[in-house]
Structures are given as C-alpha cells and as structure tokens.
Amino acid sequence: MDKLILIDGNNIIYRAFFAMPPLTNASGQQTNAVYGFTTMLLRLIEEHKPTHMMVAFDAGKETFRHADFQEYKGGRQKTPPELSGQFPLLKELLKGLGVSQFEIGGYEADDIIGTITRQADEAGRKVMVVSGDKDMLQLASEHTTIAMVRKGVTEIEYYGPEQIKERYNLTPDQIIDLKGLMGDASDNIPGVPGVGEKTALKLLHEFGSVEAVVSRTDELKGKMKEKIEEHADSAILSKKLATIFREVPLEQSLDEMAFTGLNEETAGPALAKLEFKSLIERLNLSTSGAAGDAAESKPQAKIDVTLVDATGIAEVADHLAQVTVLHVETHGDNPHHADVIGLALATEERQYFIPFDVLKSEEAEPVRAWLADSEIPKRGYDLHRIDLALHWQDIAFAGAAFDVHLAAYLLDPTESNQTLSGLASKYGLAYLQADEDVFGKGAKYKVPEVEKLSEHMARKCLAVSELVPVQEKELAANGMLPLFHDLEMPLSRILADMEKQGIAVNAEDLKELGREFEGQIEKLVQEIYEIAGTEFNLNSPKQLGEILFVKLELPVIKKTKTGYSTDAEVLEKLAPYHDIVRLILQYRTLAKLQSTYVEGLLKEISSVTGKVHTYYRQTIAATGRLSSQYPNLQNIPIRLEEGRKLRKVFVPSEPGWSILAADYSQIELRVLAHISDDERLKEAFVHDMDIHTKTAMDVFGVGMDEVDSNMRRSAKAVNFGIVYGISDYGLSQNLNITRKEAAAFIDQYFEVFQGVRRYMDVIVKQAKQDGYVKTLLERRRYLPEINASNFNLRSFAERTAMNTPIQGTAADIIKLAMVQMDKALHERQLKSRMLLQVHDELVFEVPEDELEVMKELVPDVMSQALKLSVPLKSEVSYGENWYEAK
DNA sequence: GCACTCACG
DNA sequence: ACGTACGTGAGTGCG
C-alpha cells in the first residue's frame, strides 16, 4: 500500500528556525533551521515509512491571491537573513538525501499540496500532510491525515476528519469558513474584526458557512449583527484567500515522489557538509560517498513489558545477570525528598517493571541486593538522583557505570533539554514521550495507570540502551572518555555520598541569630517609614522607587526595563544625598540574611538527620562547575561580617570533631599562567608572590613599596577582568572610571603580560574556527554565537571563549582533587568526611585524632591534583565550626 | 512565570 | 556605534 508524505517546506523551516537555538557550523553559517527540519524529516521517515515523499516550497513573490487582495501576507516581517540563507542549504540537503521537492511559480506550497491530496483522494491513496499551519486542516479526508507540528518541531498531532470534529465540531471544509470569520494576522487576512475563534465557532455551529452567516444576519442581533453586516465582503474575501487552490497545473507524476530510503551514496556527504555529525552517526552513514550501512528506518520497538508482582520477582531474579539497563522513576525536584514510583529493568530480550511497593517487599530482596552491589555495572539516566531517592527509602544503590545524562552534559553542557525524551529526539532514537506528557506537570502530576506507566518505563530503558553506544562513540571521537569514566562518573558517586552525609546545622543558634536580625530589621523599618513620612512595602523595588525618586526627588542613576533601578550600586551613589539611603542599604542586607539564610536554611534542616543535605548538580553549569540546591551551600555569606556569622551554625556532626576547610589560592590566575604560558605571570606564581601587588608593580612600573592600596585594588580588578574576558566597559564599571582610562589600563596590562594577550587572541580565533573551546581535561563548550553579526552576541561569545577554559580547568582540577581525596580517605581508612565543595574550597569534618594528618593530606592532594607549569597552592584551616575554619 | 535584587566563587 | 564584566540559586513582588 502506497503511503505519501507531503511536507509544507516553508512552514516547517520557519518553525524550526524559531524553535532551535542558533546553531552554526564551523564557518559561521547558521544551520539551525535545516537541522530542525532534518531531525523532523528523519523522524517522520522512521515512524511512517513512506513509499513517496515530497517537500513543497512557495515560489515567487506574487501569487494568484494577490490579484484578489494586494495586501495578502502584507505587513509580514521580512524573512530574517539568518533564515533565508538556509533555504539553499535545505534544498541541497534534500537532494542529497533523495527526497523530492516541488515549487511552481505563482503558487504557494499549500496549493501544491492541496492539488496532490485531491488527486490522491480521487485515486484512494493514503496521504499525510505535514505542516504547522491550521489552514491545512481543510485538506483532511478519509484518505488524508494532517500531521500538525507543534511546540517548534518536536511534537506532532494527527488530524483526520474525526479529530477535527472532536476539536472544533466542524468538517474539514468549514475550516476555511472559520478563517473567513476569524481572519489571520500572520497572513494579513482581515476576517471580521472582533470575531475570534470562540465567536466564529459559535456562528458556524449555528449557520454552517460564511455565506449563510452573512445572508441571514436578520437572525443576529446587537453589535454582532452590525459587525457582520459591515464586514460581510471582508469575510467572503477572507474565506476565498484561505481556500487552498487544488487545481495547480502539475507536470510531475507520482513516480517523481517515490522514496525508497535515504540515498546511501549522497546522504552522508550532504549531512557532513552541514556538520550534522550526530545525524550521520545515528543513521550509520558513511561520509566518504561510498555506501555505508543501509540507512534503514528503525522500527519503533515493540514493547512487551512484564509487570512484576511479589510472585513474579523470582523470574526477575533469574534474569538479573542479563540486565543491561535500569531506570528508577522518581517524582519531586529535590531528590532527598523524592517519591520513588518504581524500577524498570531491561535485558536484551525483555523489560520488567517493578512498582515501588513490590520493590520494598520481602520477596524483592534479591533485586535490592543486585541494586546495592557495586561490582555490578549499571547504566541509566541520572543515576545520581536515583541513588539519593532510593537512599532515603532505605534502598542502597551502587555500581553506576554509564550515566547517559552525564554523557549528554559532557557532549554539550549548554543543551537546555537534557531530559531523556529530549535526548532520544536529539539523537534520533525511537520516539519517547516526554515525562510531562505522561505524568502531567506541577499540581497536575499524576501517575498514570500501570500499563501505560510500565510501557513508558520500558521505553526509557530502551532509549538508554540505544543512547549508550552512540554517546560512547561521540565521547571517544572528542577524546572525552577519560573525563567521563575517570572523573565525572566517579565524582557523581562521591557527590551522592557527601549529600547523604549532609552537614550539621545548629538550629538553636540559627534561630537566635534570626531573633537578633529581626530586632534590627524592625528598628530600621520604623526609622525608614518615619523619614519617608509613609509606610510602604520596602521589599518592592517599585514602591521604593516611588519614594526615592518621586517623593524625595533623588536623582535617577539607572533605569531598569520596568522602572527605576534601586540596586545596591545605585543606592551607594545616592547615599550622600539623603540619610534614608544608608538605612535602606542596611535593611536590604539584613532582610536578605533573614529570609534567605535564616528562614531558608531552617526550612531545609532534615527532621530525620538534623542536618542540611544539599544537592549538587553536575549537569548545569556550562563551564563544568557544580551547582548546589535545596539549599544552595555555595553562597553562604562571607564577605561582610554580619553575614559571615552565619557560618558559625555549620558544625561537626560528632562531638569533639572539627570543621576543616581548604581552598585553592588564586586557582584561576594560576590556570591562566599555565594555559597562556606567560613568563611574567608564571614567575609571579613560582615565587608565590601576592599576585595583585605584583600586577600593580608591573602595570604601574613601580617597586613593591610604592604600591598603595588604590593601585592594588585597580590591579585586582584588572586581574578579575582578565579572567572574565576583559572589556574596557566592564572594567570601567567595576572601577568607576571612564572607559578610556579602563582601556589604557588594559593596554598597559597587555604590554606587560604579552603571553596573556596572545592567549586571548588565539583562543578567540580558535573558537571562531572550531565553534567550541575546551579545558585542559578536554571538557567542551560550544559557542554558536562566536561568528554572529550581532555585536553583543558575538562579544559575549568572545568573552566566554576567554573565560571558559580558565573557569572550566579550575573546575576540572578541584573535581580531580575530590576524586583523589575520596580515594585517600578510603585507602587510609580515615573517618574524616568530605562534606562540601564551594568551587575552590573543600570542607571536611574531622575527628580530633585525624586533625594532624588531614592538615597535611588535604592541601597535599589539592595542590598535586594536576601538574601545571606553576605550582598550585592550597591553604587549610580548621575550627569548631565553618566560621572558625578561615 | 518573569523581573529585580543579592548571596557566593 | 553597539553596551556586559564569568558562573550560579533563592526570595520577593507583581501581573
């Protein structure tokens, strides 16, 4: 049986363009729309296995519709140049793939498609039309299905006459009547003003057609009657414009649309030209032009998952040795408090789903023993989260060997959709429903009936097993296997250990601190109200702005998108004008401490352990750093004394133990010295000099004794700027000087540190050439905007190119230190525990009798974690709480 | 759900 | 000329 797929080329490429991030290839050519189009095309081929396929494009500016209505599609935004440049790429690629394309002068893609569907209807052939344009629904028939593309190009809804009836209670013919009444802003079709979808549907359900509505206005009343009568002509014309013309003089025959699979000779090279490497791998194509493996469209695997009850466990236990992949479904953002829904296991042949209550049953002991066995390698998605969720249900997990979530992060740390479903679609695996679609979101979350649930779980397992070999290949090709297997995978287990351990918080002291803040806050609030002469919500920047800039007429320093800016920088500048400003600044400081740190932290103290258990996320930061949530323990105050006191409530969890903290000294500048190979910078660190003073000496050309505090402060700001990817504007902001002065500073700096200048030049050039930058340990970050024509986008990408190798290598190093530290603690059988990581600092709790050892061991391991051309320095301190360990 | 503000490295 | 310093998470107000 023939099966025809007709694609509305213009519509889909537009949608893909706006839905996809602005991906570019190495030469700076943007390819995102072509990529989005192609992934959708491949998915359609896999899922529907068409015998015929065709992509239709609009041709020519004027179509016959303009004869009726000059303004047709008027007022529409000009096609962005970034998109129009992709049309030729798409057309060339389609040629390479062996997919036919039609365009006929004076007609739009819909007309071509409409004509073919009419012919197919007459011949009784099955057709599927792919578009995101609702107009296409008018073509639906017994033989013609409309595949409506939604949410960019990631989802497809199928409409036949029945579905249209269900959704609109209309026949396909009536879709044009709907548009006749509603109009369409994007095509500049007027319709009847004031009539939207709701009204239009009501009218059509009553009258049946536009013609009937306008001829029977006597049956209407009031405003509605007036509007319809006044715009009757417009409605009729709009309907005509919306009607797809189905009599295009086509010369092509059905044979020209025949599709027997991707052209093996040319598909690979065509994709390679666009640098769609993941697609080539996924299709198993050769890029040399010689035929590779046949690009068979992969049938969606049939699923016959076994739902396991207590009596079925025995069978599962018999097959545990063959299990290749597991999935544990959890619910909740915070894995320390997540519900466990169930466990799915997959062998080469079959899948099992074990609901949570069954997993907890006595019979399931063999399965739990299997989960806990660190010698059994396990593969899955986000095993770190799974480990934590199971832990709090008293189920042990060990043996994580390949986590596809982590692998996906390394392959592209900026990918925003890192869900398994997203990965399945990105890598072109069998379609996997999004969790949101299966479970619902937020308050609507609901575990579906068990058949549906177990099938989804099994499909997740299948997605993981398909993903593993593909990712492994890509990691290998990028030289990232060691980073993955020797650093990130082991680290993920170590993080889980730290998180389960948690850090003890003295709740009583914290509450007492809260009472002190409370008293000061109340006093400040009263004073502020008195000076302002009115009470208002101090936490509302909008209301505060009114008071400061309208009532008190203070000068406006800076504006935000929505009004006056009242941030600390502005308030500092306003302080000399009015006494109230200092008080507001003090209030802000205390209110922050109170709400975020006192109240926020108290809420996070576990009723089970009396500790806080943060959750380190390993797949968030684009540079390779960790991030910390629930609570964030990487931003506990330290810079101001008032806030720093909070650190006193972080204490050892055992009597007599100490908190020991060690931090890297100037790790980022040391990394820069190494990467840039700058002689002066290296020399400074070899001699372990105060780097900011040394910078001041060199930049200002003075001796050590002549460096005053101001010079040192400036030099410090320049050093920060260098690490961030310097700009004169940024430095001028930071130092409160003019841009010119800042530019002069930077020039002077680069005069002295020429190696650093060379590094900045080279790294940006490299990024422009390769499209990515990398760290010492081969961690990558793609910079799609590095060749953008937009100054801001491009400049941002350039600064990122300078910063990421520095920040990222520093992240690599402390991660290495953590893995080595964990090993050292185990080997020496120490009782000390690693608790926290704060980017360049590690925090431990240490028993009395290990203090002497740890004081040496920790800085030793940290400073030896990676050998650079300059020494790494780690400084250690300890005390009875985190405050004392300074 | 976004804007603003502010805590950290 | 353009106008942001790099990387994060959390609390509050407001539509």
At A92-143, the pLDDT tens digits run 788 888 899 998 888 889 999 999 999 988 988 999 999 988 889 999 999 9
Q: How high is the pLDDT of residue A540? A: 93
At A409-464, the pLDDT tens digits run 999 999 888 999 999 988 878 889 999 999 988 888 999 999 999 999 999 999 99
Is the pLDDT at A465 greater than 50? The verdict is: yes
CA-closest candidate to residue A445, choices A330, A335, A360: A330
CA-closest candidate to residue A467, choices A282, A296, A316, A290: A282
Residue closest to C5 C1′ by Cα: A730
For A410-427, give one letter per residue: b (16+ CB within 10 A) or e. bbbbebeebbbbbbbbbb
A795, closest nucleotide (Cα–C1'):
C4
Q: How high is the pLDDT of residue A292? A: 31
Q: How high is the pLDDT of residue A706? A: 97
Say which CATH superfamily domain A506-604 falls into.
Answer: Taq DNA Polymerase; Chain T, domain 4 (1.20.1060.10)
In contact, A185 and A245? CB cutoff 8 Å: no
Is A82 or A335 the better-scoring residue by pLDDT?
A335
Residue closest to C9 C1′ by Cα: A632
Q: How high is the pLDDT of residue A26? A: 59
At A150-170, the pLDDT tens digits run 877 778 888 889 988 888 889
CA-closest candidate to residue A376, choices A412, A401, A340, A405: A401
Q: How high is the pLDDT of residue A286? A: 61
DSSP structure class, residue A486? I
Assign A496 to helix, strand or coil: helix
For the record, the structure tokens of A67 come out as: 């004869």
Positions 507-546 of A with beta carbon below 7 A from strand B are 541
Measured CA A605 to C1' C14 distance, in angstroms: 30
A545, closest nucleotide (Cα–C1'):
B4
Q: Enumerate residues 6+ apart whose C-beta is below 8 A from A128.
A: A3, A4, A5, A6, A48, A50, A144, A145, A146, A147
A441, closest nucleotide (Cα–C1'):
B1
Annotation: CATH topology of A4-168+245-257: Rossmann fold (3.40.50)
**Mean pLDDT estimate for chain A:** 91
Is the pLDDT at A298 greater than 90? The verdict is: no
From start to end of A47-154, where are the E strands?
52-56, 100-102, 126-131, 144-150
Specify the amino acid at residue A53: M
Is the pLDDT at A70 greater than 50? The verdict is: yes
Q: Which CATH number fits domain A618-678+756-885: 3.30.70.370, 3.40.50.620, 1.10.150.120, 3.40.50.1980?
A: 3.30.70.370
Q: How high is the pLDDT of residue A67? A: 76
In contact, A22 and A784? CB cutoff 8 Å: yes
* Whole-number Å distance between alpha carbons of A178 and A183: 8
Is A499 or A266 the better-scoring residue by pLDDT?
A499
Q: What would the CATH number be for the domain defined by A307-478?
A: 3.30.420.10
Q: How high is the pLDDT of residue A441? A: 87
Burial class for A832, CB neighbours closer than 10 Å (0-12, 13-18, 19+): buried
Of A91-100, A476-485, A574-583, A614-623, the poorest mean pLDDT is in: A91-100
Measured CA A302 to C1' B2 distance, in angstroms: 43
Find the mean pLDDT for residues A730-748: 92
At A791-818, the pLDDT tens digits run 888 999 999 999 999 999 999 999 999 9
DSSP structure class, residue A598? I
Find the mean pLDDT for residues A377-400: 98
A734, closest nucleotide (Cα–C1'):
C5
Tell which strand C nucleotides have any atom below 7 Å from a protein Cβ.
1-14
Domain regions of chain A by residue span: 4-168+245-257, 307-478, 506-604, 618-678+756-885, 691-752
In contact, A466 and A426? CB cutoff 8 Å: no
Measured CA A727 to C1' C5 distance, in angstroms: 7
Q: How high is the pLDDT of residue A295? A: 31
Is the pLDDT at A46 greater than 90? The verdict is: no
Residue closest to B2 C1′ by Cα: A562
Q: How high is the pLDDT of residue A195? A: 85
Measured CA A631 to C1' C1 distance, in angstroms: 44
